[in-house]
């Protein structure tokens, strides 16, 4: 069956403060019933794969129930999380509804994680999650997202070595992108050249045991992703500009996918 996928930024709130973040800010969460209505609309539109993200998706009240309902409809659920709320109890509760968990980590260095706004102990938090899932042998794919920027450019070897200890399904390497919001404000501090980015990717492909290495640069964000925002707006990025094309509370997705 063809995968019809949507990326749902279900909350704009986050419990980290990444200085390169380009999420949409200042949007109110919808109620559980409104989000359920969107989920039903997505299902009726033939969507069979949802990437749940934010902000931090696990902050949303009722998200565990939405994941369960989505799973019971036969939708493939992928979640992207910074891991801060992924306690062993939460993992035990939701892993069965998930096809994959994507953890965001850009460095093993506490200093770098602090400078990026992820929080000083981000590496330790991610390590605890990976160790726990490894120990439990849970059948959920683990994916990694990393952003390459000025601060962590020379520090990827440690991250490669760290991730080589785990059974990671895929690693997506984003070039820093000044797309919107904080990422635009902080562009000067984080921007890197295509050459610098390619060098890091080349090294990762050479040294990492992870088979699926994927890259993302600005052009990839154009029209490739149909996003649903926390308020239900359906957004497509075109020539660097976000275009609202509908609202998932009332619209079916056939016209956009
Ligand atoms: S990059 Fe992700 S974890 Fe960091 S502030 Fe933005 S939404 Fe939160």
> Domain ranges in the chain?
5-247
Chain centroid to Cα 9, Å, comes to: 9
CB contact at 8 A, 190 and 115: no
**Cα 175 from chain centroid (whole Å):** 14
pLDDT > 70? residue 5 = yes
Write down the pLDDT at residue 229. 96
What pLDDT is stored for residue 224 in this prediction?
A: 66
Q: The whole model's pTM is what? A: 0.95
CATH topology of domain 5-247: TIM Barrel (3.20.20)
What average pLDDT score do residues 240-250 get?
A: 89
Q: Is the CB of 54 under 6 A from ligand 1?
A: yes
Pocket test for ligand 1, best of 55, 80, 83, 107 (most atoms within 8 A of CB): 55
Cβ of 21 below 6 Å from ligand 1 = yes
Mean pLDDT of 23-27: 86
Q: Does the pLDDT at position 178 exceed 70?
A: yes
**CB of 155 closer than 6 angstroms to any ligand 1 atom:** no
Tell me what pLDDT residue 242 has.
85
In the predicted model, what is the mean pLDDT of the chain? 93
Atom of ligand 1 nearest to the CA of 15: 8
Nearest residue to 126 via CA among 81, 60, 96: 81
Asked if pLDDT for residue 95 goes beyond 80, the answer is yes
SS3 63: helix
pLDDT at position 184, please? Answer: 86
Percentage with pLDDT > 70 across the chain: 97
């Amino acid at each position: 069956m063809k995968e019809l996928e949507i990326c749902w930024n279900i909350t704009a709130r986050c419990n980290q403060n990444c200085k390169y973040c380009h999420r949409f800010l200042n949007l109110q969460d919808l109620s559980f019933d409104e989000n359920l209505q969107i989920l039903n609309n997505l299902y009726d539109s033939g969507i069979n794969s949802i990437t749940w993200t934010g902000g931090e998706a696990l902050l949303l009240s009722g998200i565990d129930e939405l994941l369960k309902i989505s799973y019971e409809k036969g939708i493939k659920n992928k979640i992207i999380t910074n891991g801060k709320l992924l306690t062993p109890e939460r993992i035990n509760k939701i892993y069965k509804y998930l096809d994959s968990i994507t953890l965001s980590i850009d460095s093993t260095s506490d200093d770098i994680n602090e400078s990026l706004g992820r929080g000083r102990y981000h590496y330790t938090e991610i390590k605890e999650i990976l160790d726990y899932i490894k120990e439990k042998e849970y059948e959920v794919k683990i994916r990694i997202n990393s952003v390459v920027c000025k601060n962590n450019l020379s520090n990827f070897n440690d991250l490669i070595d760290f991730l080589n200890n785990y059974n990671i399904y895929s690693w997506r390497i984003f070039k820093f992108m000044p797309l919107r919001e904080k990422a635009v404000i902080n562009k000067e501090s984080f921007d890197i050249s295509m050459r610098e980015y390619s060098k890091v990717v080349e090294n990762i492909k050479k040294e990492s045991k992870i088979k699926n290495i994927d890259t993302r640069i600005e052009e990839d964000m154009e029209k490739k992703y149909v996003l649903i925002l926390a308020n239900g707006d359906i957004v497509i990025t075109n020539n660097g500009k976000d275009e609202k094309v509908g609202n998932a509370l009332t619209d079916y997705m056939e016209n956009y996918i």
